[in-house]
Structure 1
Amino acid sequence: MSDPLAGCRQLLRVLAPDWASTTGELQRFARAAVEGDWQPVGEAIPVSLGRNGLAWGLGLHPASDTGPHKAEGDGRAPAGVFAITALFGSADADSDFARAARLPYLAATPDLKAIDDPQSQHYNRIVDQRTVDKDWSSCEDMLRTDERYTVGAVIAHNTTPPQPGAGSCIFLHVWENPGAPTAGCTAGALADIRDICLWLDAAASPCLVQLPQAEYAQLRSAWQLP
């Protein structure tokens, strides 16, 4: 897989100082054609990463035999290249935000759950618990009492098919407060995350590239990164 960004015309690039970093910087990029040059969009923003840093995830990139590898509950955000497949949030399905969204939108309800139990047949999926057989012992509520899931995007880590225990429920979402690490997601300020989510367009096959700086420099040419 020489070009994990084949077909991608919108990119979120997150760079971290090293594998143990709990913070990084996110920059948007776009290109007019799949073989065109990447151009920056807007200003770079600060983001929070996993409380234990980064680890290689399962996405569009080839497997690596160096560095840590992500596992369920390890507190690490996934490194690599990942499709961005959907949006979610507390706004209703008929809200202005939902109508403006250019990715599929999941409106959070008390029944919308993100399944993180590796033993469940629904592992690493967001489901409406009213419509499936409940076979999990652990899940995340997508309708929260804090702001963290007010708006966000689904990162397609470990999805084809999900490998039990390799990590689940990876999102771009709102941080608890500036610099506060996450359980394994990438998080930023509410206004920034909202702007990014409304910018993402399914027609442009948006992707997240998330790497420590040294690995990014090493892979930049081979993966045709900006």
Structure 2
Amino acid sequence: MIEVKGQTLMMPDGKRFRCAIGRGGYALDKREGDGATPIGTWPFRRVYYRPDRVAPPKTGLKTAPIVETDGWCDAPDDPAYNRPVTLPYPASHEEMWREDHLYDIVVVLGHNDDPPVPGRGSAIFMHVAREGYLPTEGCVALKREDLEKVLTLVAEGDAIAFLGP
């Protein structure tokens, strides 16, 4: 199992990668908008990628290209909460097609999705890190090359454990 402790992602084979976590640190009781990375074990669901910037990642997970109308609902009172949506969308949402490179490769993690509980957190992803590994909004982020390496070792049914500080 892949584990994240502090700001280090640890692979089962012993490889380690620096990563960024949420600006709110780690949380056992994740809430929408707290900026925290949720402690727990979350399955890998799917990989999205920007086809105009990167090739489909080599991985054992399902992949799909991001298109300009892709979004992710983060409105707790909306029926599509913590689900992909098509833009324009009337409720609060994230845009998946970003001008920065954070979502050039983005992995959906199975946090609060089976079924989603309003307000317990949405859009917990593994994605490309900002320069300097600046904090995320609650996701885990790696250098693109490291993310690509990790994905080559991930398959359907695998999970990631966020252990905390």
TM-score (norm 2): 0.91
Work out whether 1:84 is the aligned partner of 2:44.
yes
Spell out, residue by residue over 1:92-145, the C-alpha distance to the aligned partner (whole angstroms, 9 max, x if none). 6xx8525x4321112111111111011111100123348xxx4x4211111111
* 1:28 aligned residue: 11
Distance 1:137 1:77 in 2: 23
CA contact (8 A) 2:38 2:162 kept: yes
How big is the shift at 1:13?
0.4
C-alpha deviation, 1:173, in angstroms:
0.4
Structure 1 SS opposite 2:131: coil
Q: CA deviation at 1:48?
A: 0.6
Aligned to 2:44, the other structure's residue is in SS state strand
Q: Give the C-alpha shift of residue 165 in structure 1.
A: 0.6
Report sequence identity in percent. 29
Unaligned residue ranges in structure 2 (runs of 5+)? none
C-alpha distance in structure 2 between counterparts of 1:77 and 1:191, whole Å: 22
* Alpha-carbon distance in 1 for matches of 2:66, 2:131: 21
Question: Among residues 10, 15, 23, which one is paired with 2:5 in the alignment?
Answer: 15
User: Which residue is 1:33 aligned to?
Assistant: none
Whole-angstrom CA distance in 1 between matches of 2:151 and 2:96: 17
What residue ranges of structure 1 are gaps of 5+ in the alignment? 1-10, 17-23, 30-39, 57-68, 214-226
Q: CA deviation at 1:12?
A: 1.5
Task: Supply the distance in 1 between the matched residues of 2:105 and 2:154 (Cα, whole angstroms).
Answer: 13
Question: Cα RMSD over matched residues?
Answer: 1.8
TM-score of the pair, normalised by structure 1 = 0.68
How many residue pairs get aligned? The number is 164
Using CA pairs under 8 Å that are at least 6 residues apart, name the structure with larger relative contact order, 1 or 2. Answer: 2
Residue aligning to 2:82: 124
Q: How far apart are residue 194 of structure 1 and its match?
A: 1.6
Q: Is the CA contact 1:174–1:189 (under 8 Å) kept in the aligned structure 2?
A: yes
Aligned partner of residue 191 in structure 1, secondary structure: helix
Question: Is the CA contact (8 Å cut-off) linking 2:49 and 2:56 kept in structure 1?
Answer: no
Structure 1 residue 172 and structure 2 residue 135: aligned?
A: no
What pairs up with 1:1-80 in 2 under 5 angstroms? 11-16=1-6, 24-29=7-12, 40=13, 43-56=15-28, 69-80=29-40
Match of 2:56 in 1: 97
